[in-house]
Structure 1
């Protein structure tokens, strides 16, 4: 038992782009966090086939690890209409329906203009399909972030760290720092939904990008290793039962 509570829920409809807050989410057993990483932008042909999906390395896509300036692109997906709005200073606003291949082509052109020489290209936003999501883990279909761990690192390096750098789905308050690193295989309950710890999340240079400015301003990976001897922050989880989770729900951990 813990006194932990969910303080925020986030989805990322397009891998590498703007996190979107949710008040609640309805999870499906064996599924993914809803609305999360449904699309990704390939940088050059990947051969990905949504009818026969395979796991691809994040380096095949335009992501913050490669292109930190993506943080300056503001996207927002309206689920009922399937329309994503796209904004960035100095560039025209855009609205595209993600399910429409012609609209996706317009987004490809907009993003190519925004990134310029930073990409190899051609850029193409691709759907994951019903059997896949563009997660960095083969088995962890959602992610949990212990805010106490972020604050502990923040205090040690004496620099503010926006938890959005870690692009997790479920933010939790009320835990001891770093306890989640020992939760692989543990049973977790959020509200009435059963989750299971898969493995701690190994961090990459995506966390170095300031989510507001798009500048690499903190070497988070080096800081983690210098302070703790690892580059872990957050936990991948699988979803064991269907149900609703919401901000304010308790989190409980069992053997």
Structure 2
């Protein structure tokens, strides 16, 4: 069994960037979900309600972030130019002090989305922890630093789904090959290279999976969520696909590394 793909998501709810090699920090892949768009009240904004966010391309650079979107001028942001001010924003039930990125970034997203909003950064003073493993940090992800899905699970779904979908619908950071469908559901601890990771919770899926990551259009029949609901619903009514992970240390991951099941 091997690690077959790595992806980062620089801004919450945008398309991922494929990598051959990445450094994993305790809060996840470096650069992953360290930015978030918030509305005027400080609530986080995602493509669940604002599908156009899927068409923002956010490319990490050595000193910041490069943004582009349809019918918008490109914008380059530099960490060194971010104002020192922090502002509280909410991600689900968590309230996080996050660094402002500046008026230019705020105007860019406000113009693009057609409403007053702010771009915030998970800065040096920002803090947030996962629910199931206290003292384990996480940035602006929904709840956990990493998400893993096996290629076998997607193949099983596509055999059942009226129209095949890509792995991009589910936005995993780690994709593994060479397993039976949903083998990851039975793992609690794995090792990739020198890095150990704990699998702490199934990932419950929502309407995000019904959005085409390229066009931002919603599937008229709510696929693949409709198909998943028919055979992946748990006792609590949640539709699960993939597993949330917490790194137990730091290290480098590369595509092609062997994945060892420890528990």
| Structure 1 residue 220, shift from structure 2 partner | 2.8
| Structure 1 residue 239, shift from structure 2 partner | 1.0
* 1:21 aligned residue: 18
Structure richer in helix, relative to its length: 1
State how far apart, in whole Å, the 1-side matches of 2:82 and 2:63 are: 15
* 1:41 aligned residue: 37
Name the SS of the counterpart of 2:52 in structure 1: helix
The one of 97, 100, 108 equivalent to 2:78 is 97
The alignment covers a number of residue pairs equal to 228
Give the 3 Å change call, closer, same or farther, for CA 219–44 of structure 1 in structure 2: farther
| Structure 1 residue 156, shift from structure 2 partner | 0.4
| Structure 1 residue 171, shift from structure 2 partner | 1.0
* 2:68 aligned residue: 87
* 1:115 aligned residue: 113
1:98-118 superposed Cα distances (whole Å, 9 cap, x missing partner): 5533664212212222222xx
Residue correspondence of structure 1 range 163-202 to structure 2 within 5 A: 163-183=167-187, 186-202=188-204
State how far apart, in whole Å, the 1-side matches of 2:46 and 2:81 are: 22
State how far apart, in whole Å, the 2-side matches of 1:248 and 1:187 are: 19
State how far apart, in whole Å, the 2-side matches of 1:240 and 1:253 are: 14
Give the 3 Å change call, closer, same or farther, for CA 141–223 of structure 1 in structure 2: same
Q: Which has the higher contact order (CA 8 A, sep 6+)?
A: 1
* 1:237 aligned residue: 245
The answer to whether the 8 Å contact 2:232/2:240 transfers is: no
* 1:73 aligned residue: 56
State how far apart, in whole Å, the 2-side matches of 1:135 and 1:124 are: 17
Name the SS of the counterpart of 1:154 in structure 2: helix
State how far apart, in whole Å, the 2-side matches of 1:129 and 1:91 are: 26
| Structure 1 residue 178, shift from structure 2 partner | 1.2
* 2:231 aligned residue: 227
Give the 3 Å change call, closer, same or farther, for CA 100–204 of structure 1 in structure 2: farther
State how far apart, in whole Å, the 1-side matches of 2:27 and 2:70 are: 36
| Structure 1 residue 150, shift from structure 2 partner | 1.4
The answer to whether the 8 Å contact 1:145/1:170 transfers is: yes
Q: List gaps (5 residues or longer) in structure 1.
A: 47-59
| Structure 1 residue 123, shift from structure 2 partner | 0.6
TM-score w.r.t. structure 1 length? 0.82
| Structure 1 residue 193, shift from structure 2 partner | 1.0
The answer to whether the 8 Å contact 1:205/1:219 transfers is: no
Name the SS of the counterpart of 1:227 in structure 2: coil
TM-score w.r.t. structure 2 length? 0.80
Name the SS of the counterpart of 1:91 in structure 2: coil
Match status 1:247 vs 2:255: yes
| Structure 1 residue 8, shift from structure 2 partner | 1.1
The answer to whether the 8 Å contact 1:151/1:161 transfers is: no
